[in-house]
Amino acid sequence: MTSVLDQLRDMTVVVADTGEVASVKRYKPVDCTTNPSLVLAALKDPASEDLIAQEIEKGRKAGLNPEDLTATLTVAVGAELTKLVPGRVSTEVDARLSFDTDASVARGREIIADYEKRGIGKERILIKLASTWEGIRAAEILQNDGIDCNLTLLFSMAQAVACADAKAFLISPFVGRITDWYKKAEGVEHYSPEEDPGVKSVRRIYDYYKSNDISTVVMGASFRNTDQIKALAGCDNLTIAPKLLDALDQEEADLPRALSPDMASGMAPVSMDEATFRWEMNADAMATEKLAEGIRNFDADHQKLIKLVAER
C-alpha cells in the first residue's frame, strides 16, 4: 500500500509550509509558502548559509538599511525555492501594512519587480496578504494587474466571501489556530476530525466556493495533527509542515476522499460589502482575535528578522 502522503497527493496539491531548502528537497512539494517565521528559520538553516551571506554582502555594498535588506533577502530565499518546486512560491507583504491598501499594493509590486530582476516571472509567485478588508482590496487591485495573491490569516466565512468577490487567486484558511481558540473557549482537550471547528470551517468555505463555481483556490493551512489533514483530503491545496509531511509519509493506510466538487451542497451566494464584512468580523470573536494575533505575531517575527540582519 502506498503512503497516506502519496494518496493525498493524488487528490490534493501538497504545499510545503517551510522555507528550509533541505525540507523542500526532501518532500518535493508542488508549491512553497513562506512568512517571516519561516524566513527566520531559513536564516538558521545551514543549507541557506551561503545564500544569506551573499545577499547580506550585496546589500551592505549597495548601502541598504536593515529593513530594505530584509525585504530583498526574503525574495532571495523565495527565488532559491523556485528552483526546487515546479509551482508557486508565496511571498508575504509586511504585516504592518495590513490596514493600508495603497502601501500593500506598492509593496506587492516591489516584490514582483525584485523577482523579475532575478529572472523569475510573476507567474511563479503569489503575493501573500492578510485577509483584512484593506488587504483584500489590495489583492483585488493586484489581481487586476495580473499579479496573483494568497490571502492568509483567514478564519471566517466573511473573509472567504470577500476574497472570492475580489477574485483572489488563493486563500489560506487556518485550521489549527481556529481549533486552538475553541479548545480554550470551550475547555475541550480534543475534537474528533468530524467535530473539529477548524476542519468544519474549511469544509464550509470549500462547499460555498464549489457551490458557486468560485475559481479561488482553497488551501487549508496551520495544522496541528494529521487527522485534521486527512479530514480535508481532496481540498484544492493543503500546506503542511515538514514534521506532519513526515508522519503522513510513514503512515500506510487507506485515505478516503473527504472533499470533492461533486459533493457541493448548493449553498446560495452571499453579498459582502465593507459594512457587512466589518459587522460579521466584529460578531465573530474567534476570527477577530486570531486575525489580530496573527498580524501581531507576523510583525514580531519581521522585526526579529530585521534585527538579525542588522547584526549580521
Q: Hey, which residues are catalytic here?
A: 128
How far apart (Å, rounded) are the C-alpha atoms in residues 277 and 284?
Answer: 11
Structural element, H or E, at residue 81: helix 66-82
> Which SS3 state, helix, strand or coil, does residue 31 take?
strand
CB 169, CB 215: distance < 8 Å:
no
DSSP string, 299-312: HHHHHHHHHHHHH-
How far apart (Å, rounded) are the C-alpha atoms in residues 170 and 236?
Answer: 10
Backbone angles phi, psi at 215, to 5 degrees: -85, -15
The candidate with the shortest Cα–Cα distance to 24, out of 7, 45, 52, is 45
What nine digits make up the cell of 248? 503522513
Where do the DSSP E strands lie in 169-288?
170-173, 217-220, 237-240
How far apart (Å, rounded) are the C-alpha atoms in residues 51 and 74?
Answer: 11
DSSP 112: H
201-211 burial string, b = 16+ CB within 10 Å, else e?
bbbebbbbbbb
How far apart (Å, rounded) are the C-alpha atoms in residues 12 and 5?
Answer: 10
Backbone angles phi, psi at 237, to 5 degrees: -135, 155
How far apart (Å, rounded) are the C-alpha atoms in residues 54 and 48?
Answer: 10
Strand 237-240 versus strand 13-16 pairing type? parallel
